Structure 1
């Protein structure tokens, strides 16, 4: 277990290499699940939990950790599996994570190890999985299928974010000159794509989406095959960072080194808010970075970018 905790701190060296580290864990049963170590702040034996009156059953309580009061979500229960029994809590683990500017703990029955992997080995969920599946990707580890959870979908159900742009910003957007080029949105989470599309549509923008970096790159190459530039087709691209097959870092690098694409403004828009900084944005050549998800901030920033370009 000490090796897992030590490895959690070795994060930023993978930036721009289309690689990631997956923290592997189990819920109740033999199935292996994973989340990106980038989003993990700490892993610890389940501490004493204090109940929250009138909270949903999936929130098992709050833990007081290093001066913070952190809600602890039973991850198995959140995806429709049986929750961890009360008597098993002392032998369970809590994965402390930061997503979308919030810190929360995920209760799991066992933490396995950390695997260093290439994003090319991380694949979209099998077709036919259904829209209600809580997976954002899958991968093979020692001939076993590991399921990478769509944590944004889980959190949107457990603790919904406000998704609507305020009326004042919508009104201001209506006063701008019409006729802007579409925005290309790249994100492997269906929830995140919906949130961003809803935000940008509210301010009058047309949105085209792709599910991962490879899809987006191939699409950009296709539409510029006639000799046009990517900037002739899109106002900007808003891309997630962690995506199967090709991550956002690699997508940015390929865009910025391709003469037909390099002029396109690229914003990285990711829930990796706790560990991301301007130096890392500059390392991969992105033009901007914004932590998920504030509809007003995103709407205002997109209008600002378009008006400046």
Structure 2
């Protein structure tokens, strides 16, 4: 059993780098952001669960916590391990829930710049709904960075963003506030936009990563118009190719013109260490996915969105 010490691996704020844990399935190389990993463990027998999703291998209880085990090889359509006794469980935390991803081996941890991670080809990796969130080039090999949020959302839909949560906020009013969204997961990006539109925020600008969001902000600034004619608030994920959300926040808050913009970090990575990091960079709010109703309430407050200004939806 090996614990991953978060305080040792967390990088200096806003450097646009991440640590990737490389692992193998059927000899193919994949990666996961170390910030998501709680620990790695040797394979352990699991208790089967009736009527569970086909890729849920079962559950096990390493200490006092029951953890769901996901057979990543089966999910990816790859062959099972030839010798399960050497397999590994990667224990990861998503949306404040722990999951064990059953993999065939762990290679190690490497530091890499987000600029070295490219968006995968849509044809090869399943189009907009593909399971790969990025392809990292490190030394002489390529690492497929999996979209673990999408995997969890498919297996356990109830843990994901729920459009119905917006209805619990009560009557909503159409707003002309312009919300810039930086989110690399096509599935989550679509759901966030749908939820914001349902909440009355119909003026949304969607970008696929921090670099695209930053390019949009730079163009808005160079136009000479007041910045609030282009954007009133930024919602950003943390883990994205090209430029991550921490780097984007740092650039915004260090810019004399853009620093007035509220920035909300909306990510499954938010934990105690990440929260400290976000505060150091000047993030106005940080919220864990999938709390979409809370996100809307925060946007209401940060943009001073008052119902009296607009027509009811």
Would you say the 8 A contact 1:14–1:20 is kept in 2? Answer: no
Residue of structure 1 equivalent to 2:23: 25
Structure 1 residue 16: deviation in Å? 1.8
TM-score normalized by structure 1? 0.90
Distance 1:81 1:34 in 2: 16
Q: Are 1:105 and 2:100 an aligned pair? A: yes
Gap change, CA 1:216 and 1:279, over 3 Å in 2: same
Q: Are 1:135 and 2:135 an aligned pair? A: no
Which 5+ residue runs of structure 1 have no aligned equivalent?
Answer: none
Aligned residue among 29, 41, 49 for 2:38: 41
Would you say the 8 A contact 1:7–1:114 is kept in 2? Answer: no
Would you say the 8 A contact 2:179–2:233 is kept in 1? Answer: yes
Structure 1 residue 83: deviation in Å? 3.9
Would you say the 8 A contact 1:38–1:275 is kept in 2? Answer: no
Gap change, CA 1:188 and 1:168, over 3 Å in 2: closer
Distance 1:81 1:270 in 2: 29
Aligned residue among 57, 65, 68 for 2:65: 68
Residue of structure 2 equivalent to 1:188: 184
Mapping of 1:238-277 within 5 angstroms? 238-276=235-273
Q: How many residues align?
A: 301
Would you say the 8 A contact 1:22–1:114 is kept in 2? Answer: yes
Residue of structure 1 equivalent to 2:164: 165
Residue of structure 2 equivalent to 1:212: 209
Structure 1 residue 182: deviation in Å? 1.9
Gap change, CA 1:184 and 1:6, over 3 Å in 2: closer
Structure 1 residue 252: deviation in Å? 0.7
Distance 2:285 2:190 in 1: 21
Would you say the 8 A contact 1:93–1:110 is kept in 2? Answer: yes
Gap change, CA 1:299 and 1:274, over 3 Å in 2: same
Structure 1 residue 254: deviation in Å? 0.8
* RMSD of aligned residue pairs (Cα, Å): 2.1
Would you say the 8 A contact 1:28–1:109 is kept in 2? Answer: yes
Distance 2:284 2:165 in 1: 26
Aligned residue among 221, 230, 237 for 2:234: 237
Residue of structure 1 equivalent to 2:77: 80
Residue of structure 2 equivalent to 1:203: 199
Mapping of 1:148-163 within 5 angstroms? 148-160=145-157, 161-163=160-162
Structure 1 residue 259: deviation in Å? 2.1
